Structure formats: structure tokens, C-alpha cells
Chain A
Amino acid sequence: MEKSPAPENDSDEIKDAVASPHSPTVDASPPEVLQEPPEAEENEVVEDSNAEEPDLTLPQVWEEIDAFLGRNSDSPRDGGESNSDSDPIEIPRAVELLSKNVESMIDKYALDAGRSKFGHDPEEDSCFFGSVGRLSKLADKIGDLKPTAENANVLRSSSLNRTSSVLQQAMSFLEEEFRAILDEDSKTGRDDSDPKSAKTKHSSSFNNCCSQESDRCNLPEPEPPSTEEEFQQFTPETISVMSKIADAMICAGYETECCVLWMMMRRRAFKSALSERGFDVLSIDDVQRMQWDSLEREIATWIAAVKRCSTILIPGEGALSGSVFSGQPEIAQDLYGNLARSVSIRLLDFAEAVVLTQRSAEKLFKFLDMYETLQDLIAAVDGSKQYPDDPKKKEVRAEMMAVKGRIGEAAVSIFCQLESSIKSDSSKVPVPSGAVHPLTRYTMNYLEYACEYKDTLEQVFQQHHDKAVVETANGEPTDDADSSAMKASPFSVQLLTVMDLLDANLDMKSKLYKDPSLRYIFLMNNGRYIVQKIKGSSKIHELMGDTWCRRRSSDLRQYHKNYQRETWYRLLQCLNHEGLQVNGKVSKPVLKERFKSFNAMFDDIHKTQSTWVVNDEQLQSELRVSISAVVTPAYRSFLGRFNQYLDPGRQSEKYIKYQPEDIESLVDELFDGNPTSMGRRRT
């Protein structure tokens, strides 16, 4: 038996099949089956009662069925009652032929063990779906008939049993096939890239980065979207097969079966897609008991999972249900909405659990990461064009907003804890050598790191502020005089508060130094550190404003002056020309005394201050330069002028310990934090 050239386009299946002149005869099985025992072909006729009648081809069967369906449905139900009641029911022979056709095709498909049943022979598939579609209409139609005559009733009911049973068989078969295709996906769809590979951008935690003294926290660039992370793909062919199955089931009234199956399988696929990435269910109770470092890892996994959901999985799911249920947009929306909702709620649960854990400073950045992730997720929900008016979508969005709000509140409260930790730092031991205090370092690094999240922090503080305003106003309209747009943002206000507290604390700490010079060095060191940090981070700089920075710089200059006065102006007294002349003559003993005390004082200063520390190189050299500029010329001119009064040789060697160049190089040894330098110099 020859096969008719299969029309490539199977969308017009019925017409094509009907028009095909060589369509196979319908005789209990489709042509391909018959080919296997070719000799049977001739004898294969529809057996039982119709044996003597000529075979009908499938198009002929369909034609007859269509005519039967059309005839009955054309007559209005009640108007046609007399018609269907009085007329002896004629159930065309084609009805049985159609049932047989479907049955045998199922059997044949069933022989295709293993791989998917559909999609190998488009013509065959379209025959099958065409027949099944007719069969379901037929079963309905026959079920609607209400014959009164006894024998007609018997005939009708046996036909009904027959068609409905075959239909049920066909539906079970389709359901199984649908399940197998969806199952296939979860078996082959998984890629085996390592589950924890997808990490977040802020991979280093604050602690790690602060433990390195190099202060600058390198935030890795966000990874470029990797191409391998795509939604598990079904081929267009598979999607079209699924779509046909879904259509057939829904048209036959098996919508519930279809949807139950879909939900179950997709939910499972989703779950395994997430757990492959290491995202597993944790109970809220577990999260409360977790150590921070483990929880930190879970948060990273969660962030990766949410990102994957918002960029790939959820949109992919929407597209998939949209294309499989393309004929039934409401069903597609419902299925997608339900799935997206239950997935989202699971993801949100984890965030809720984390927010409930004990709060501490180091958690801030992970909380902010989570906040940003949720923000992206919400943006993805808002941005998705699928189903804009789905109430479930709105519900989920509201939940997301609520959780995001809670994380934001937690972030605010953690950030504000910085205030209390600064206030409570009241150690009475001064940092040796006037160096940068650990509190300064900690606070500034924390702020620097926090300001990497500037926009987010601005946002959460703004929300917190707005909420507080609403609550204090208690519903009354707020007409704050100072609620102008020019006002500083709540976050920068908070930042200024923190800085003021830090200043106050440092001022208190500076008083622990008995030597006023050292006190100024301490203030300079810390002030310089703060200014450098702020200049180094454009984000904090923006927040603090230029005025603040200028004020800080002038404070620093003032400390510098004060230091000069405290240490060096006293030394310069020794080089004062006044009082050297007695009776118009330079007094040698006085001159000697001056040189002696200059030497002693300078030695002393050198000895002490070379142990002091100025970490900032620029500040260090500024200080040295300015000291040199004051001391060296004064000494040089003093020396030049009074050198002659001392006897050359022994006397000048004794009293003139340093040449101006020596002074310069000794000044260059100050603030090195090096206590042995003097000794070395001496030798």
C-alpha cells in the first residue's frame, strides 16, 4: 500500500486528509499497521455486521461523521426534540469505524515503546488528533440523543458506551504521553554545572574585606549574564505536540486532568530546577538556629535562586504555558499564575526567616543584597507583559513588597546600631603613637562599604522616614515647614549623625593624650583618614557634601597649626635674637646656653616624635616639609649670624651639634613610628 505524500502542513489536517485521494482505507487499523502483514490487507475489512459493505477511507469516515454531527447540531435542541425522539436513531456505520480507527492507532502508538509517540509522522498524528476530536464530539452528541423507542435506546447506549470508552482510552493515552513528555524534561533538562556556581556580586563579606588592612573593598563586577543558564528548552516540535495534546484534552472536556497533570509536573520541574542550584527548603526554625557563616552561604544561594527565577525560570514558565495552551489564554494564565505564586511564596519565606534572625552589623550587607534582589524580582514581575491583570500576580507582588519592606526596616535598624556601637566605645586606653583609632577604621570602612549600597540605603531610609512621619502624624495631614525638597535625604542625615558621633568620640579620645602635640597628631591622623576615605568614595562624598568636606579640611589645617605651635614655636624661642646681646655685645655664655638648649630640645623632640606615627604618607611629608620650612631657615640664619662668636674648633664643635642639613634630615625621620632611629643616627 502506498502512502499518500504527507502534507507538510498539518494544521489543516482535516481538509488535507479528506482531500487526499489516496488516503488509506479505514479497516480497524491505520495503513502502517496493515503493512506489517501485507497479505492481511485484502481481508482486513470491518468485521461484524458491516462486513459486506465497502470499506470507507478515513476521509470518508470523517466526512460521514462530520455530516452526522452537523445534522444533529444544526437542529435546535428543543425544536429538534420531536425530530430526534421520533426518528429512529441512525448511528452511521462510520461511528464504529472511527472508534476502531482510534483504538488501533493507540495500539500502534503503544508499540513505539520508549521514545515519545508523536512527532515522527505528522500525517499520522494529524489523523489521530482529527479522529479523537471527532470522537469526543460524537460521544457528546450520542449522549445528548434521547430516543424513546426501546431498540433505538439500546443501540444508542451501546454506541455511547463504545465511543465514550474509546474516548476515555484515548484521553488516558494522551495524558500518559503528556506526562512522559513533561517528565522527560525533568530527566534530561538538568545541566550538571556545579550547583553553587551561581554566586552573587558581593562575594566578599564585610568582615573579610576589613580584616585586610588595605581598606579598599573590591566589589567584583556583576557577572555578565551567562548564556548557559537558559530555561529548560523544549523543542518547538515538542511544544507543538504538547499543545495538540492539551487542545485535544481540553476540547474533549478533560481540562481538569490536563491542568492537574501540568501543575504537578511543572511544579516538580521547578522544584528540582531550584534544588539543583543548591536551593533547598529550610524551615524558618532552622534558619533561626543557623550560624551566620552558614546562613550567609544560604543567602548567597537564595539570591542566585531568586535571580534565576526572576530572569529565567518564571518568564520561561510563562512563555511555556503560553505556547502550550496558546488556544486557551485563560487556562495558561491560571496555570502560570498559580505556579509563579507558589514558587514566589516559597522564596519569600526564606527572606522572612532571615529577617527574623538576630540582627548584627555584619548582616547589613547581605540584607541589602537581599533587598536589591527582591527589588529586581518585583521589577521583573512588573515588567513582564504576561497577564498584567492577574489578581494572583498582584497578590504576589504585594507579598514581595511587604517582605522587601521588612528587610529594609531591618537594614535601617542595623545601620542605626552603628550609632550605639560608636557611643558605647569608651575605652580609656589611648592608641599608642597617636595613630588611627580602630573605631575610626571600623566606622569608615563600614560606611565606605555601606555606601556601595548608597541608592538602596537612601531608599530604605526614605521609606523608614516616610513611615515614621505617617505614624507620628497619625493620619493628620503633614505640613512640616521643613519638608522641602532641598532637605538632605534621611540617609545622609543619618550619615552625618554617625560622623558627628565619631567626631565627638574621637575628641574625647584625644584628651587621653597628655602631650598636646601628640593629641593634635592623633586628631590629624584620624581626621585625615576620614577625609581620605570620603574623598576616595565618590558616593560618601556626594552624601556628605562639599561644605562638610571643606570644614573637615580646615579643621585639619587648624590641628596642624596647633601642633606647630605646641612643638616648634617653643623650639624657635631658642633661636630668638633678642636677649643675646649684653651691653651691645653678643654674650657668649648666653649664646652657648641657647645652642645647648636648642640641641637638647631638638634631640628630645626628635626622640619622641620619631616614634609617633603618621600613616598617611602625604600628611607625613606635609608635616615634615612644614616643620623644615619653619625650623631650618631660622636655624640657618641663627647659625650664620652667631657662628662667628664661638671659637672655631673645640667650642663650635661642642655647641654646634647640627648643620642645617642635619636638621632637615632629622625632621625627615619624624612620625616614622621608629624608636631606634635616634640611636642609629648618633653613631
Chain B
Amino acid sequence: MHAPDYQGSHIGRSILSLRRDQAASASASTAAAAAHSMEPHHRDASTQELELEVFQRQVADRFLELSSASADDLLSLAWVQKLLDAFLCCQEDFGVILFNNRVNVARSPAAERLLAEFYERSVKALDVCNAIRDGIEQIRQWQKLLEIVICALGNRRSLGEGQFRRAKKALIDLAIAMLDEKDSSTTIGHRNRSFGRNNASRDHRSIGHFRSLSWSVSRSWSAAKQIQAIGNNLNAPRGNEIAATNGLAVPIFTMGVVLLFVMWALVAAIPCQDRGLQVHFSVPRQFLWAAPIISLHDRIIEESKKRERKNACGLMREIYQIEKYSRVMSEMVDSVNFPLMEEKEGEVRQRVQELGQVSEVVNEGLDPLERQVREVFHRIVRSRTEGGSCSST
């Protein structure tokens, strides 16, 4: 049996996977005949029940932890990383449950059906991962533009007019690049007016260039629709379903909600094609993990409704900071007169420092984030191929 080898910043290796490892090594070291007695369907019912219960608690704990984030931490890059971490852990535990219960699954058509549905959902999530990866690439471009501003205004030398012009150019590019696709056409004219001359044509072009970064999904692809598709028919299992699946309907539903929520939150946080946060979460409160997930959902929705965030291309905190600080910086650059007064220069340097901090956080966080998204992608693929539901045997 292939043990998932996710080595990310675990919140602690799960009990479940440890137990599986023990079982696996036990069955390997015993003679082949004896190994039969270790087959999962001989495990007694209470072991299985306990296992499912532990899973519920684990999921709940992970999301409680996530929902304990302060308003400043929520949707920060670091928080998104924790979110993906939580997903990977849940996915791993879920895989263990499926492995331990594979005989039960094979015996229950209901469980097989639910699992097939889950796999279908998870395959839809792969496109979200890819779109998010493009979004990360987009943020990386913004960060490069920030770097230009910092490079122009952040050196120890005295600042000349040329440096301000250079910064301004980068800030304009940044502002355009950060426009959400939907309102780009309307806002662009407005923004153009402020930087006169023959800039307009060039800037239109650069939008096209930034947009061409997204090439993982087709033009008509919509994150909003994809999220809705992931959530389609995701209903809490009824009593008879739970009975017919030997209880497995519960973890399958749980993992479905986790998948939906995590993908939804990614789309909320990170720019991607046709974002949209309308999704129907119907989670009965009696699940241990329901409260933290619902609370996170509500907080993110609330965040998206804030006036200054309404047109944001992503709710990630750092995006907001880039937007805010670069706007402040733009205003300052516009207001500078030459010769530059010393106190003005000091002020500029302070703003540059702010910008530098965001830039650094983003610069350091994006690569690990991208790797995590990739890992989520691989995990889903692997669980799908190991789950074997794509073979027609």
C-alpha cells in the first residue's frame, strides 16, 4: 500500500495514518496466511465506528483552528497556506478510511455511488487548482512591479525625478494589472486620464499581456460555475444511506464539504477567471465541523462585501495591502515637487518600506503556496487513481 507522503507543515501526523502504518507493517511481518486475519473486513465494528468518529473530530479541530484566525490573519497568505494544509491532512485521513474500509465499499453499491460522486467533484477541483496557479502567477507579476517601485525609490541614494517617473510607470502598470477583468473596460479610461500623453495604447496592450498569463483553463471557463458544479447535489446523507454504507456516507459527505469549502475559499482569495462567491452551503449543524466552516464562510462573505473590497480581484489580505499601499504611493508620487524636500523624501522612504514589507511577504509566500496547490492537485489525482474508480473493471 502506498502511503501518502505529504510532508508539509502538518498540524501533527494523524492518528489514523499511524494506525494504518501499524496495520500495514503488522500484516507484512506476519506470514501470508496469518495476514488474512488482518484484512480490514474482520476489524470489529467498534474499531470502524471509532475511526469514523475520530475523523469527524479531526476535521472539526482543523477548521476550528482555521476559524480562530483574527480578522487580520483571515485570508492572509499564511492563512491560505494553513487552509491547504488542513485540506491535505483531511484528504490523507479520508484516504486511510477508504483504504481500511475498501471491502465495505466494494460491498455497498450505495457507498460506491457516493464515492464515485465524490471523485467526480474532486476532478472538478483540479481545474480550480490550475486556475489558482495562474492566479498565483498573476500575483507574482504584481510583486515584480512592486519590486520596480521599491528598486526605484528604495535605494540609499538621493532620489531624483527620474526615479519617481520610473516608480510611477510601474505603479500605473500595477494598477491596470490589478483591475478585475469584469470592470477593466470601464475603469481603464478613467485611470488613463491621470497619466496623459501616449500612454493609453501601451497600457491597453499590457493588460492583454497580463491576461495572457492564464492559460490553464479555456476562455469560457468560469471559477464561479466550477465551484457550483463541485457543490451540486452535495447533500447530507440520510439515515438509510448511512446504514446502507456502513456509516461511510458521513466521511464521504464530510470530505465533499471540505473540498467545496476549500476550493471556494481559494477562489475567494486568489484572482482567477470569472470569480464568484455564490455557492449553496447546506450543512446541518449537528456535524462537529459545521460550525467553524459556516463561520468561516460567513466571515469571508462579509469580507467580500466591504466597500473597499467589493471590486477586488481577490480577497487575500496581501492583495488588499498591495492595492492600498500602491495607491497611497501613487498619490504621493503624483504630489511630489522638485527639488525634493527632505521631509518629503523621508515620507516616501517610509511608504517604500511599507510596500517592501508586503512585497517580501508575497515574494516569500508565493512559491510555497504554489507548491501546495500543486500538491493538492497531485493528491486529488492520486486518490482518484488509487480509488480505482476510473478503471472500468
- Tell whether A172 pairs with B215 under 8 Å between CB atoms, given A143-B160, A283-B221, A471-B2: no
Residue B151 at the A interface, CB < 8 A? yes
Residue B236 at the A interface, CB < 8 A? no
Give the CA-CA distance A50 to B162 in the complex, in Å: 24
Distance to closest chain A CB from B86 (angstroms): 23
Residue A257 at the B interface, CB < 8 A? yes
Q: Is the CB of A165 within 8 A of B144?
A: no
- Tell whether A358 pairs with B162 under 8 Å between CB atoms, given A140-B157, A406-B385: no
Contacting A at CB under 8 A, from B189-240, are: 202, 206, 209-210, 212-213, 215-219, 221, 226, 229
Q: Is the CB of B218 within 8 A of A144?
A: no
Q: Is the CB of B162 within 8 A of A280?
A: no
Give the CA-CA distance A302 to B83 in the complex, in Å: 34
Contacting A at CB under 8 A, from B364-393, are: 377-378, 381, 384-385, 390-393
Residues of A contacting B15 with CB < 8 Å?
A: none
Contacting B at CB under 8 A, from A220-275, are: 253-254, 256-257, 259-260, 264-265, 267-268, 271
Give the CA-CA distance A349 to B133 in the complex, in Å: 12
Select A161's contact among B124, B161, B218, beta carbons within 8 Å: B161
Give the CA-CA distance A282 to B221 in the complex, in Å: 9
Binds B, one of A111-119, A472-480, A530-538: A472-480
Residues of B contacting A166 with CB < 8 Å?
A: 162
Residues of B contacting A139 with CB < 8 Å?
A: 160, 162
Select B212's contact among A168, A169, A267, beta carbons within 8 Å: A267
Give the CA-CA distance A345 to B162 in the complex, in Å: 40
Binds B, one of A284-292, A579-587, A624-632, A651-659: A284-292
Q: What is the chain A residue whose CB lies nearest that of B338?
A: A161
A655-673, CB under 8 A of B: which get 1 and which 0?
A: 0000000000000000000
Select A265's contact among B202, B209, B226, beta carbons within 8 Å: B209
- Tell whether A358 pairs with B226 under 8 Å between CB atoms, given A281-B215, A283-B218, A286-B218: no
Q: Is the CB of A285 within 8 A of B124?
A: yes
Residues of A contacting B165 with CB < 8 Å?
A: 165, 168
Q: What is the chain A residue whose CB lies nearest that of B339?
A: A157
Q: Is the CB of B28 within 8 A of A474?
A: yes
Select B216's contact among A167, A257, A281, beta carbons within 8 Å: A281
B145-181, CB under 8 A of A: which get 1 and which 0?
A: 1011001000101111111011001100000000000
Q: What is the chain B residue whose CB lies nearest that of A168?
A: B162
Q: State the interface size on chain B (CB cutoff 8 A).
A: 57
Residue B126 at the A interface, CB < 8 A? yes
Q: Is the CB of B216 within 8 A of A154?
A: no
Residues of B contacting A594 with CB < 8 Å?
A: none
Residues of B contacting A386 with CB < 8 Å?
A: none
A601-639, CB under 8 A of B: which get 1 and which 0?
A: 000000000000000000000000000000000000000
Distance to closest chain A CB from B147 (angstroms): 5
Distance to closest chain A CB from B232 (angstroms): 12
Q: Is the CB of A281 within 8 A of B218?
A: yes
- Tell whether A360 pairs with B151 under 8 Å between CB atoms, given A268-B212, A352-B381: no
Residues of B contacting A168 with CB < 8 Å?
A: 162-163, 165-166, 169
Q: Is the interface of A mostly helix, strand, loop or mixed?
A: helix
Contacting A at CB under 8 A, from B100-119, are: none
Distance to closest chain A CB from B378 (angstroms): 7
Q: Is the CB of B144 within 8 A of A256?
A: yes
> Which interface residue of B133, B213, B215, B377 has the most chain A CB atoms within 10 A?
B215
Give the CA-CA distance A160 to B160 in the complex, in Å: 5
Q: Is the CB of A406 within 8 A of B381?
A: yes
Residue B123 at the A interface, CB < 8 A? yes
A157-185, CB under 8 A of B: which get 1 and which 0?
A: 11011111111110110001000000000
Q: Is the CB of A409 within 8 A of B123?
A: no
Q: Is the CB of B158 within 8 A of A143?
A: yes
Residue B25 at the A interface, CB < 8 A? yes
Q: What is the chain A residue whose CB lies nearest that of B170?
A: A257
Q: Is the interface of B mostly helix, strand, loop or mixed?
A: helix
- Tell whether A417 pairs with B158 under 8 Å between CB atoms, given A168-B166, A256-B147, A271-B212: no
Give the CA-CA distance A356 to B377 in the complex, in Å: 12
Residue B1 at the A interface, CB < 8 A? yes
Q: Is the CB of A164 within 8 A of B163?
A: yes
Give the CA-CA distance A145 to B157 in the complex, in Å: 8
Distance to closest chain B CB from A673 (angstroms): 37
Residues of A contacting B381 with CB < 8 Å?
A: 352, 355-356, 406
Give the CA-CA distance A157 to B385 in the complex, in Å: 67
Distance to closest chain B CB from A565 (angstroms): 43
Select A474's contact among B24, B151, B229, B339, beta carbons within 8 Å: B24
Q: Is the CB of B123 within 8 A of A167?
A: no
Give the CA-CA distance A471 to B386 in the complex, in Å: 13
Give the CA-CA distance A253 to B147 in the complex, in Å: 12
Residue A576 at the B interface, CB < 8 A? no
Q: Is the CB of A144 within 8 A of B157?
A: yes
Give the CA-CA distance A75 to B294 in the complex, in Å: 66
B1-29, CB under 8 A of A: which get 1 and which 0?
A: 11000000000000000000000110011
Q: Is the CB of B137 within 8 A of A342?
A: yes
Give the CA-CA distance A254 to B145 in the complex, in Å: 11
Q: Is the CB of A346 within 8 A of B123?
A: no
Residues of A contacting B34 with CB < 8 Å?
A: none
Give the CA-CA distance A410 to B386 in the complex, in Å: 11
Residue B330 at the A interface, CB < 8 A? no
Q: What is the chain B residue whose CB lies nearest that of A472?
A: B28
Q: Is the CB of A346 within 8 A of B162?
A: no
Residue A328 at the B interface, CB < 8 A? no
Q: What is the chain B residue whose CB lies nearest that of A342?
A: B137
Q: Is the CB of A165 within 8 A of B162?
A: yes
Q: Is the CB of B145 within 8 A of A281?
A: no
Q: What is the chain B residue whose CB lies nearest that of A183?
A: B205
Distance to closest chain A CB from B172 (angstroms): 12
Residues of A contacting B29 with CB < 8 Å?
A: 476
Q: What is the chain A residue whose CB lies nearest that of B27?
A: A474
Select A402's contact among B126, B163, B219, B378, beta carbons within 8 Å: B378
Residues of B contacting A264 with CB < 8 Å?
A: 141, 206, 209-210, 212-213
Residue B130 at the A interface, CB < 8 A? yes
Residues of A contacting B24 with CB < 8 Å?
A: 474
Residue B127 at the A interface, CB < 8 A? yes
Select A285's contact among B127, B141, B339, B340, beta carbons within 8 Å: B127
Q: Is the CB of A167 within 8 A of B162?
A: yes
Residues of B contacting A474 with CB < 8 Å?
A: 1, 24-25, 28
Give 4 closest A-B pairs by Cβ, nearest first.
A164-B162, A143-B157, A164-B160, A474-B28
Can you report 23 residue pairs joining A to B where beta carbons are below 8 Å apart?
A144-B157, A156-B158, A157-B338, A161-B161, A163-B160, A164-B161, A256-B144, A257-B148, A268-B212, A282-B218, A283-B217, A284-B123, A285-B123, A286-B218, A352-B126, A355-B385, A356-B123, A356-B381, A406-B381, A413-B391, A413-B393, A420-B393, A474-B1
Q: Which residues of A contact B (CB under 8 A)?
A: 139-140, 142-146, 154, 156-158, 160-169, 171-172, 176, 253-254, 256-257, 259-260, 264-265, 267-268, 271, 280-286, 288, 342, 345-346, 349, 352-353, 355-360, 402, 406, 409-410, 413, 417, 420, 471-476
For the A-B complex with A172-B169, A260-B145, A264-B141 known, give 10 more contacts whose Cβ atoms are closer than 8 Å: A140-B157, A144-B158, A157-B160, A161-B161, A260-B141, A267-B213, A280-B218, A356-B390, A420-B393, A475-B25
